[in-house]
Amino acid sequence: MTDLDAVLGNAGPTGLKERIAAELAAVRERSLTYTDADDDMLVRQHSPLMSPLVWDLAHVGNYEELWVLREVGGIEPLRPEIDHLYDAFKYPRKDRPSLPLLGPAEARKYISGVRGRVLDVLDRVDLTDPDPLRAGGYVFGLVLQHEHQHDETMLATLQLSRRPGLVRDGELPPGRPAAEPEVHIPAGVFTMGTDTVAWAYDNERPAHRMYLPGYWIDRHPVTNGAYLEFVEDGGYRDPRWWLPQGWEWVERNGVEAPLFWTRDGDTWWRIRFGREEPVPPDEPVQHVSWYEADAYARWAGKRLPTEAEWEKACGGRTYPWGEADPGHLARWANLGHRAARPAPAGAYPDGASPYGVEQLIGDVWEWTDSWFQPYPGYRCFPYEEYSKVFFGETYRVLRGGSWATHPCAVRTTFRNWDYPIRRQIFAGFRCARSEE
């Protein structure tokens, strides 16, 4: 039973509605915080990889309008003339600055008007209705997770802007060394995916049984210090460790280290939200592509885990530590932008899985060796453009969320995906190896 199911079971639909209303307020406060900047900052495109921040802001409102107001509430479109502007598939990110987008003030007014009507729909909707969009408040979970995902995208844009002073920071628990750096996961059958998490996406379903041979997996994500050994050993100059496509990417782009790293004499520095600071050796490495993660693993005599291996290491729970929601208990994971960085390796021993694998949730998204493919028995819901159109051998799967991921938008079954060259996301990795 998930925390959400407990709310619904113990307090009934009224209790769930109260929680949804509170979560909607919290996510909107987060979105407005990240866009509390001068207009030039919001309308400028800081990288062709990302939309202007003002596009993300209006897009989350348009998404709410489409799914809550029109699909569930039966309300006539408020601004049908802007639908095409905020259709994520209509225009690539690099072209969005040239569109007649809503300005910052107009975007805030629009999303506020949508949200007021969304709360009216929430007040009157029957969450026990068997309709899959209404049942258990699924449509509200859909828009909540969607907005939090765009908030994380906004953070990536802010990092790319290299502008200081826009993102808060905070304290994190200290790390601790691992007596045993690897954990053995025995051979056997486990259940992958879910049929029970109320707000899970279609690509997480259905639950299905899988057999995996025994393997070893790193207790913690690979740290900056460990990755630096690969860099200093000439890892970016040695094609032995790279797949052909990865080596071509390295040579074409002159890649020499993780994104935002620079070297000054014997010291490596990084840019973190406009601040230049020495690279901390005990934090999980982030801003590395799948190709970099794969090359490091080969150099280390290991490999990346498959997403099935990653999920099995979580121990078959909604979260590695159990079923309790991480939103209010910071001792388990570094989530929800408590600090604008990963926590040191070993900082969350209470969040370990039953096998003893730590920091599977939070800190950095973890690249896996798997392509983004549908599970056996997959059924598309509620629209093809969320998952189905991305299936194939183009996108690599990432698991676990990052420090920037909100607790309601991550769990052990949650699947993220991206191109193997992407580095602006808050992504790292851990290694695995097969039994000898």
Distance CA 284, CA 295 (A): 16
252-288 residue pLDDT tens = 999 999 999 999 999 999 999 999 999 999 999 999 9
Distance CA 96, CA 43 (A): 10
The per-residue pLDDT of the chain, averaged, comes to 95
User: Residue 274 has which token pair?
Assistant: 């406009």
**pLDDT band per the 50, 70, 90 thresholds, residue 168:** confident
pLDDT at 169: 85
Average pLDDT estimate for 240-246: 98
Nearest to 166 by CA among 177, 176, 158, 178: 158
pLDDT at 167: 80
Nearest to 60 by CA among 114, 119, 4: 114
Average pLDDT estimate for 377-395: 97
Q: For the chain, what are the domain ranges? A: 3-161, 182-224+283-434
Distance CA 364, CA 220 (A): 11
The strand pairing partners of 182, in sequence order, are: 218
**pLDDT band per the 50, 70, 90 thresholds, residue 3:** very low
The hierarchical CATH code for the domain 182-224+283-434 is: 3.90.1580.10
Annotated binding residue at 411? no
What does each C-alpha distance from 100 to 43, 71, 85, 86, 103 come to in angstroms? 11, 26, 8, 11, 9
**pLDDT band per the 50, 70, 90 thresholds, residue 7:** very low
Distance CA 142, CA 199 (A): 7
Distance CA 192, CA 378 (A): 13
pLDDT at 8: 38
298-323 residue pLDDT tens = 999 999 999 999 999 999 999 999 99
Annotated binding residue at 146? yes
Q: Domain 3-161 - what CATH class? A: mainly alpha
User: Residue 95 has which token pair?
Assistant: 């072209």
Asked whether the predicted pLDDT for residue 85 surpasses 80, the reply is yes
Annotated binding residue at 418? yes
What does the DSSP assignment read for 151-166?
HHHHHHHHHHHT-TTS
- What size, in residues, is the chain? 436
Q: Are the C-beta atoms of 288 and 423 separated by less than 8 Å?
A: yes
Q: Do the bridges between strand 188-192 and strand 208-212 make them parallel or antiparallel, or are there none, so unpaired?
A: antiparallel
Annotated binding residue at 59? yes
pLDDT at 329: 73
Annotated binding residue at 94? yes
201-213 residue pLDDT tens = 999 999 999 999 9
Annotated binding residue at 96? yes
Annotated binding residue at 176? no
Asked whether the predicted pLDDT for residue 9 surpasses 90, the reply is no
